[in-house]
Amino acid sequence: MKSLANKVAIVTGAGSGIGRAIAWQYADEGAKVVVADIDEIGGTQTVALIKKNNGEAIFIKSDSSSAADNQSLVEETVKHYGGLHIACNNAGIGGPLGVTGEYPIDGWNKVIGINLTGVFYGMHYQIPAMLESGEGSIVNVASILGQAGTKFSPAYVAAKHGVVGLTKAAALEYADKNIRINSVGPGYIVTPLLTKTLTDEQMKPLAGLHPIGRLGQPGEVAELVLWLSSPKASFVTGSYYPVDGGYLAQ
């Protein structure tokens, strides 16, 4: 029997990259997957890939930085599939680059709104639905920059540190209610977040930051998220797991 058989899962930011890989892995392990993204084209493509693999999925357009969209996403999921058992709050952006003293205020607000507040909104509406289902597992996608700092990305670093702390707080609150909540910290992964903003030459130095000697692939993050979401991780909650090619070990 597949590890996620008869489970219903939401994945935000599932229109490409890590989110798409997670949605595909969930479906491959038997979950009914709700693909959520603001990108309708990317989201429907993810659903098509899942269905081509004989999985079950639907697309719901959703802006993770909107409380109303998060509420509607959960309500539509429960209405369509009858419950909610798993959620991966993955949607995120890199945002503008700049030193803290000159960082654009609108850029700060957008990054925090999507990368941190969006995770709070997600859990705020996902958790009550999971309580109704009698169980739940939430995985929040943070970053290596949820544990380390870097120059020129104050909003991103602050948001991802916040995701790690928020995950721990929520995990403690619901540990005795059969809901597990964890976070993962990808290193630099080959996704549109990188490939649309950097050339191959610009990405080469990033590979060198990882002792393993290369950038990560979305599927490598998805494998960890799948494990955390499954009964195989039944005694794991409140944890932060890097998947970073050794980046944080330095």
Q: 60 in a domain, yes or no?
A: yes
Please give the single-letter amino acid code of residue 71.
Answer: Q
The pLDDT of residue 146: 98
pLDDT of residue 22: 98
What is the rounded distance in angstroms from the CA atom of residue 116 to the CA atom of residue 113?
6
Residue 173 is assigned to a structural domain of this protein = yes
**Are residues 42 and 16 in contact, defined by beta-carbon separation less than 8 angstroms?**
yes
For residue 200, what pLDDT is reported?
80
Residue 59 has pLDDT above 90, yes or no: yes
Domain at 91, CATH number: 3.40.50.720
Domain range for 162 is 8-189+218-244
205-229 core/surface letters (b: 16 or more CB in 10 A; e: else):
eebebbeeeebbebebbbebbbbbb
CA atoms within 13 A on the CB side of 116: 19
Amino acid letter for position 247? Y
Residue 78 placed within a domain: yes
Which pLDDT score, from 0 to 100, does residue 202 have? 81
| Structural contact between residues 60 and 73, judged by C-beta atoms closer than 8 angstroms | yes
- Write out the catalytic residue numbers: 156
| Tokens, residue 176 | 């005795």
- Mean residue pLDDT of the chain comes to 97
Q: State how far the Cα of 200 lies from the Cα of 94, in Å rounded to an integer.
A: 18
168 part of a folded domain: yes
As a whole number of angstroms, the distance between CA 172 and CA 226 comes to 21
Q: What is the pLDDT of residue 195?
A: 80
Is 114 contained in some domain? yes
Domain tally for the chain? 1
The predicted model scores a pTM of: 0.96
pLDDT tens readout for residues 158-211: 999 999 999 999 999 999 999 999 999 999 999 887 887 778 888 889 999 999
Per-residue pLDDT reduced to its tens digit, 91-123 = 999 999 999 999 999 999 999 999 999 999 999
Q: Is residue 97 in some structural domain?
A: yes
Say if 93 falls within a structural domain: yes
Does residue 33 sit within a domain? yes
pLDDT score recorded for residue 215: 95
Closest CA to 159 of 171, 169, 146, 168: 146
